[in-house]
Amino acid sequence: NIPADIKIKSIKEAQSEIKQIISNLEDSDTNLEESMDKYNRMMHLNEHIRDQFKKQLKEIRNSNFKNKKDSST
């Protein structure tokens, strides 16, 4: 569901683009359709960031579990 050009972004890149979109929406006169497109892109970026955090958390938990398992043997 997330566009390919968003999936390749790092968390920092996605956050930066969100800030840029918000700034653009606040500082310029955009029509409703353009605003909706930007809002939808921002939602995809946010979803991507959330997915990346979940993935990193899972990797950390797996790493911690493996370290505990290795130290107990």
pLDDT tens digits, one per residue of 13-35: 999 999 999 999 998 788 999 99
Q: What are phi and psi of 72, to 5 degrees?
A: -90, -5
pTM for the predicted model, two decimal places = 0.82
Q: What is the DSSP letter of 30?
A: -
Report whether 14 contacts 45 (CB < 8 A): yes
The owner of tokens 């958390």 is 57
Place of tokens 């653009």: 24
Q: What is the mean pLDDT of residues 47-53?
A: 98
2: Cα within 13 Å, side-chain hemisphere = 17
Q: Which two tokens stand for residue 24?
A: 């653009």
